[in-house]
Amino acid sequence: MTLATPAIADDSESCHPLFRDAPSSVEFNKLRKRLIRQVRETLDAYGMVRPGTRWLVALSGGKDSYGLLAVLLDLKWRGLLPVDLLACNLDQGQPGFPKHILPEFLDRYGIEHRIEYQDTYSIVTDKLPSGSTYCSLCSRLRRGHLYRIAREEGCSALVLGHHREDILETFFMNLFHGGKLAAMPPKLLNDEGDVEVLRPLALCAESDLARFAEALAFPIIPCDLCGSQDGLQRNAMKAMLDDFERKMPGRKDVMIRALGNINPSHMLDTRLFDFAALMAESGKA
């Protein structure tokens, strides 16, 4: 385990050090403002922020978690996010994982962080046959360690970089294969009830995060170092959603808003609406 303390930032600068070399183009400024607006909307709508608390921000080295950390640091720098942030990478022992990239990146910008090594890769490969998709078990093991680290660091929340497409793909996987209407909620409690799980990027488009990461030249670490790819079902959902968006631009935004605009009386779940008690008043024409 490595715990780093941030360097003292120069108060004369008008932005967080992470943004000092950012493009000055109108296009990038619009992208940055859009991501900030969407994250603020999510933080406010789901009551995520309690001033003075501490958040553990999971950093995998992918574009989404880099983007999450950057936007949160930007909001904190502007005085709009009154919480402490601790970036955390869990090195899971994947073959070829470049251990130097994230510590160097975080040190360069004076970002408080913790790097923890836990060889979950060996556990996963021991329990699953060769050629299997490791993602599900790997994710569960990773989440357990992150909850533990959050407790050790006095963090009330674990903050994850799941974006709009992740949520929609999960919704359609549950619809088509699980027989239920469920997605990734922007905010939930872990089973023990002591750590909140927050997804501030819930309204943010994956394509925006990709452009954001490219513009800020984040040192991306590939997610397929273990040789396992995400399941075919999720890939199929991604392709379906991309096809919808290509044929009918704006559909993804409509769908993500629909997940927050549910009318139980127009669904079929008797646990959410008392259909048996619904009847016309007698004597009316």
- Where does the pLDDT of residue 5 fall: very low under 50, low under 70, confident under 90, or very high at 90 and above? very low
Query: How many Cβ atoms are within 10 Å of 136's Cβ, its own excluded?
Result: 13
Q: Contact 84/54 with Cβ under 8 angstroms?
A: yes
Q: Which residue has the higher pLDDT, 211 or 14?
A: 211
- Where does the pLDDT of residue 11 fall: very low under 50, low under 70, confident under 90, or very high at 90 and above? very low
pLDDT in tens, 35-70: 999 999 999 999 999 999 999 999 999 999 999 999
- pLDDT score, position 13: 59
CA-to-CA distance for 257 and 45, rounded, in angstroms? 12
- pLDDT score, position 139: 72
Q: What SS3 state is found at 164?
A: helix
- Where does the pLDDT of residue 131 fall: very low under 50, low under 70, confident under 90, or very high at 90 and above? low
pLDDT in tens, 90-119: 887 777 788 899 999 999 999 999 998 877
Mean pLDDT value across residues 237-263: 96
Measure the CA dihedral 225/186/178/275, to 10°. Answer: 180
Looking at the predicted structure, is the pLDDT value of residue 220 above 90?
A: yes
Q: What per-residue string of b and e applies to 90-119 under the rule 16 or more CB within 10 Å gives b?
A: bbbbbeebeeeebeebbeebbbbbbbbebe
Mean pLDDT value across residues 149-161: 96
Q: How far is CA 268 from CA 150, 172, 264, 272, 280, in A?
A: 39, 17, 8, 9, 19
Q: Among the listed ranges 10-24, 206-220, 237-251, which one has the minimum average pLDDT value? A: 10-24
Mean pLDDT value across residues 122-128: 60
- pLDDT score, position 153: 97
Q: Contact 206/163 with Cβ under 8 angstroms?
A: yes
CA-to-CA distance for 147 and 152, rounded, in angstroms? 9
In the chain, the amino acid numbered 280 is A
Domain range annotation of the chain = 19-260
* Partners of 84 in the β-ladder: 54
pLDDT in tens, 199-218: 999 999 999 999 999 999 99
Mean pLDDT of the chain: 88
Mean pLDDT value across residues 152-179: 96
Q: How far is CA 82 from CA 33, 43, 78, 231, in A?
A: 19, 12, 10, 38
DSSP output for 76-94:
HHTT---SEEEEEEEE---
Q: Which two structure tokens, joined as six digits, stand for 84?
A: 């402490």
Question: The domain 19-260 belongs to what CATH superfamily?
Answer: HUPs (3.40.50.620)
